Amino acid sequence: MKFIEEYRDAELGKKLIARIHQRSTKPARLMEFCGGHTVSIAKHGIRQLLPPTVTMLSGPGCPVCVTASADLDKAIALARLPGVIITTFGDMIKVPASRSSLQQVKAEGGDIRIVYSTLDALKIAQENPSKSVVFIGIGFETTAPTVAASILQAQQQKIDNYYVLSLHKICPPVVKALLDSGEVKLDGIVCPGHVSAIIGSHPYEFIPRDYGIACVISGFEPLDILQCVDMLVAQIESGQPTVEIAYKRGVKPEGNKIALELMDRVFEVCDGNWRGIGTVPGSGLRLRKKYQRYDAERNFEFYPGEPVEPKGCICGDILRAVKTPPDCKLFRKVCNPEHPVGPCMVSSEGSCAAYYQYGEGYGR
């Protein structure tokens, strides 16, 4: 299959690994921001193939995982309102909030439906004109344009019972917040592929300029990631950090201008609440005043209560790369995909789920 088999070629992989081993002499602490990269690295055993000089850490690039309990509580409070249908992507259903989950509310009789796109949510709104249909808008710059498009379509088609709870987040500000915190020393960042397909490479230029940290945008196949690591190591060895694109088949420096314009038309930047990190200025998206009639937070009265974090869960530390899943006392023993305590075990892109499924940290 084109662009799949080529990026899983074992012989090319061996050559890249050999070059990384030969090239790497300085310590290189690399963070992969995206949860998709975390899964691919675990699945293909990439950590075990790298030289001891290269350390790979997982960052906060799983949109389900970084959704704060306080925001999940909002979704659950909305789900309990009479006459409301909640539509959401499937991996949000099982995420534990402060006192419940969408799955539990559904079991109690709440009308919560899994959708694969905002088009599905709009169709449900059209088919249920007497109900209010709320789409839980999570995700980074990758999904925000599709949500923006759904609002414009609802306006055009006069679908008056469609709403969005915008929990969207944008990535560069949280990278800055992590670097400013000084909790983790980094030499390089594996920049997210899907996000970068929308925003391009220019928004990362502050990272090498202001922090002296190498940046390479990567695809998701094993050779993509190995090439990215090789390019990061080359930057670190030369002492010349910059922003490079290793995923040129998917990312242009200027990004996707149509998607960016669509997102900017409907949303405006606001502060974002990140699990384990807190409020990060300029890292969230809310609907502009022009479209506030579609804003669930402005159109419903609901009371989510005070947020409470799951007892014993260290997802916040894991998302900041301060700890890894095996550091958690609950990992595998109490917390597993069937009975997740925290969101990092729920999402398919969560670090805990990846470590659990592929045996990271257990010598397998």
pLDDT in tens, 199-251: 999 999 999 999 999 999 999 999 999 999 999 999 999 999 999 999 999 99
Residues 226/46, Cβ–Cβ less than 8 Å? yes
Helix axis angle for 222-238 and 10-23, nearest 10°, is: 20
**Residue partners of 113: CB distance under 8 A and separation at least 6:** 85, 86, 87, 88, 124
> Which pair of structure tokens corresponds to residue 199?
């925003």
| CB burial readout 345-362, b (16+ within 10 A) else e | bbbebbbbbbbbebebbe
Report pLDDT digits (tens) over 92-110. 999 999 999 999 999 999 9
269: three-class secondary structure by DSSP = strand
Tell me the pLDDT band of 3, cut-offs 50, 70 and 90.
Answer: low
When pLDDT is averaged across residues 72-101 and rounded to a whole number, the result is 94
Residues 225/190, Cβ–Cβ less than 8 Å? yes
| For residue 133, pLDDT beyond 80 | yes
The CA distance from 17 to 229, in Å, is: 9
The CA distance from 304 to 36, in Å, is: 31
What is the per-residue pLDDT for 34?
Answer: 93
Please give the C-alpha separations between residue 29 and each of 33, 47, 184, in angstroms, as whole numbers.
13, 12, 9
What is the per-residue pLDDT for 348?
Answer: 86
What is the per-residue pLDDT for 5?
Answer: 74
CATH class of 69-170+255-299: alpha beta
> Which pair of structure tokens corresponds to residue 95?
């995420």
| For residue 65, pLDDT beyond 90 | yes
Where in the chain are the domains? 5-61+172-245, 69-170+255-299
87: three-class secondary structure by DSSP = strand
Tell me the pLDDT band of 197, cut-offs 50, 70 and 90.
Answer: very high
When pLDDT is averaged across residues 39-67 and rounded to a whole number, the result is 94
Please determine whether the domains at 5-61+172-245 and 69-170+255-299 fall in the same fold group of CATH: yes
Report pLDDT digits (tens) over 287-310. 999 999 999 999 999 999 999 988
The CA distance from 223 to 48, in Å, is: 15
| For residue 364, pLDDT beyond 60 | no
Tell me the pLDDT band of 2, cut-offs 50, 70 and 90.
Answer: low
- Residue 164 β-bridge partners: 135, 295
> Which pair of structure tokens corresponds to residue 26?
């300085």
CATH class of 5-61+172-245: alpha beta
| For residue 189, pLDDT beyond 60 | yes
